Amino acid sequence: MAGLCWVVVTLTLLLSGENSSAAVDKNQLEKITKFIIERYNIKTQVSVAVNIPVKTVNQNYLKQVFKRATAAAVQKKLSEDSVYPNDTSDDRVFDKTSKGVPIDKDEPVESLKQLGNTKVGHDNIFRCYKPKNKDFQCINCFSGKEPVAQCVAPSPNTEKKPRGLIGFGASIRHLLLPNQMAGLCWVTVVLTFLLSPGISATAVDKDDLATIVNFMMNRYDIKTQVGVAVNIPKDQDLNTLQEVFEKADVVRKTLDKNSVYENACKMVAARPYRNVHAEVRVLKNMETLINTANDHFLVFYSFYSPCGRHCMNENGPYSIIPKINQVFPNWNQFAFVFSEVFDKTSKGVPINKTEIEEALKQLGRSKVGHDNIFRCYKPKNEAFKCINCFNDKEPVAQCVGNVD
């Protein structure tokens, strides 16, 4: 369990007084924790406290509760090492495992037992996570007074790698409010999330991604370098993608003038111009997309994989890494996609494979993350498909060479 991060989220729920002594509603808990993790793309140490007056929780209701606390506003505040909305303390919690110090195998069991022995109680501790091939769920962490296997270690039968929210912890206490607020009382739920670093809360569906990218490449007849950023509504019917992608002739007219195409909150596209790479031009014009990032899936497309000498040279003047780190966290689900490996310069000089690999690794270390980088293409004698470019943080052969 070395290298894991603790993430603490405190939720305050307003429940009817009649139910004040009832057990925790795991369905409600699942909806709330899943919503928070996805909205704020939680991947590392963070603490959140939110007041949720709730009788019945649904997606639209949660959107209203979190309406002002947009992902962009929260991200901006946290990037300044401040507290959102107001900085009231500079205390920091230090987790020794962030330096790679191994945790004794019995420690997770004992830690959980200690938590169960507090006023939290054994019945109020949960793990909320997404097992392999199952829906997001919350489970009780104790059978009697003994921790269950799923709460002290990833189970090899259900998940080799924890994905997304792997939480445990819900402490309940009941506080009567002044005048009892017409029969209502407060129930405080404290959730502790155990996350595997770099794992996205919402995995990208490769089949859906292939459908989107294939549609785009065919619609715009993409055969050479171009950059495209497109904002796909999460409830978008993939049979009606023409609602998202502008007509080809409209986009082409703009690009033929060496201009950047922008379509309100839907799409940005550009070709390289005067030594400025297409990716750079797109990233600099994504403000309208950022403003509507909530409930959307970002597909950032470049026909060629990023080059090592310019785009992925983090110390160079043309690096796109700072802009990527600023833009991508505004979405809780995104994909960086390319179709062809950039293995030759514009003058036809072959690029060393080591340089190609290092460029891809640099992208993986950015806010894009290893799990969100894909090559979408049509191999010989196969259907169009998208593949993950990393296997345990190492680039796969198909993403560092134009091989099938």
Q: Are strands 296-304 and 334-340 parallel, antiparallel or unpaired?
A: parallel
CA distances from 396 to 111, 145, 236, 277, 302 (A): 38, 45, 30, 25, 18
pLDDT of residue 377: 95
Q: What is the mean pLDDT of the chain?
A: 74
156 shares its domain with 279: no
Q: What are phi and psi of 78, to 5 degrees?
A: -70, -35
- Out of 195, 223, 238, a domain closes at 195
Q: Give 127's strand partners.
A: 139, 168
Same-domain pairing of 110 and 64? yes
Token pair of 7, please? 């993430």
Give me the mean pLDDT over the 72-98 stretch: 53
Rounded Cα distance, 352 and 5, in Å: 36
pLDDT at 41 over 50: yes
Asked whether residue 201 is assigned to any structural domain, the reply reads no
> Around Cβ 109, how many Cβ atoms within 10 Å?
15
- Measured in degrees and rounded to the nearest 5, phi and psi for residue 401 equal -155, 145
Which pLDDT belongs to residue 60? 65
Q: Count CB-CB contacts under 10 A for residue 321.
A: 20
Phi and psi, residue 314, nearest 5° = -60, -20
Q: Among 154-158, 227-231, 355-359, where is mean pLDDT lowest?
A: 154-158
Q: How far is CA 218 from the centre of its chain?
A: 28
Does residue 301 share a domain with residue 165? no
Domain final residue, candidates 138, 161, 195: 195
Domain residues for the domain of 272 are 206-399
Say yes or no: 129 and 11 in one domain. Answer: yes
Q: Are residues 63 and 176 in the same domain?
A: yes
Q: Which helix (H) or strand (E) holds 353?
A: helix 353-365
What does the DSSP 8-state code read for residue 281?
H
Interatomic CA distance for residues 181 and 113, integer angstroms: 36
181 with 227, same domain?
A: no
Angstrom distance (rounded) from CA 124 to CA 104: 25
For residues 359 and 366, what is the distance between their CA atoms, to the nearest angstrom? Answer: 11
175 in Cβ contact with 263 (< 8 Å): no
- CA 5 to chain CA centroid, nearest Å: 16
Residues 132 and 239 in one domain: no
Question: Which one of 41-45, 155-159, 167-171 scores highest in mean pLDDT?
Answer: 41-45
Span of 82-86, 125-129, 222-226, 388-392 with lowest mean pLDDT: 82-86
Tell me the pLDDT tens digit for each residue of 238-248: 999 999 999 99
- Residue 342 within a domain: yes
The Cα–Cα gap between 13 and 22 comes to 13
Token digits for 218?
């065919």
78 CB burial (10 A radius; 0-12, 13-18, 19+): middle
Nearest-angstrom CA–CA distance, 375 and 209: 10
Measured CA to CA, the distance from residue 367 to residue 252 in angstroms comes to 31
Cα 195 from Cα 254, distance rounded (Å): 44
In this structure, the answer to whether residues 174 and 224 fall within a common structural domain is no
Task: Examine residue 200 and state whether it is found in any structural domain, yes or no.
Answer: no
Q: How far apart are CA 325 and CA 308, in angstroms?
A: 17
Q: Where is the domain boundary, 195, 214, 243?
A: 195
- Residue 118 counted as domain residue: yes
Cα gap 359→338, rounded to integer Å: 13
Number of domains composing the chain = 2
The reply to whether 298 and 168 lie within a common domain is no
Tell me what pLDDT residue 184 has: 35
Give residue 59's pLDDT band: very low, low, confident or very high (50, 70, 90): low
Distances (CA, A) of 307 to 47, 105, 163, 268: 37, 43, 30, 21
The label of the residue with tokens 């507090």 reads 118
Decide if 42 is inside a domain.
yes
- Judgement on whether residues 190 and 213 belong to the same structural domain of the protein: no
| Buried/exposed 269-290: b ≥16 CB within 10 Å, e otherwise | bbbbeeeebbbbbbbebbeebb
* pLDDT (average), residues 146-163: 59
pLDDT (average), residues 35-48: 70
Side chain identity at 70, as an amino acid letter? T
Residue 214 and residue 187 share a domain: no
Q: Which residue has the higher pLDDT, 192 or 235?
A: 235
Residues 75 and 95 reside in one and the same domain: yes
Q: Report the pLDDT averaged over residues 260-266.
A: 87
For the chain, the first-to-last Cα distance in angstroms comes to 36
Q: Has residue 370 been placed in a domain?
A: yes
Give the pTM: 0.54
Residue 339 belongs to a domain: yes
Contact 215, 245 (CB under 8 A): yes
Cα 321 to Cα 315: distance, rounded to the nearest angstrom: 10
User: CA–CA separation, 39 vs 230, rounded Å?
Assistant: 19
Contact (CB, 8 A) for 193 and 167 = yes
Reported confidence tier of residue 226, pLDDT bands at 50, 70, 90: very high
What is the tens place of the pLDDT at every residue in 357-404?
998 998 999 999 999 999 999 998 899 999 999 998 899 999 988 876
Please tell me the distance from the alpha carbon of residue 95 to that of residue 107, in angstroms, as a whole number: 14
CB-based contact 308:355 (threshold 8 Å): yes
In a domain, 404, yes or no: no
pLDDT at 141: 86
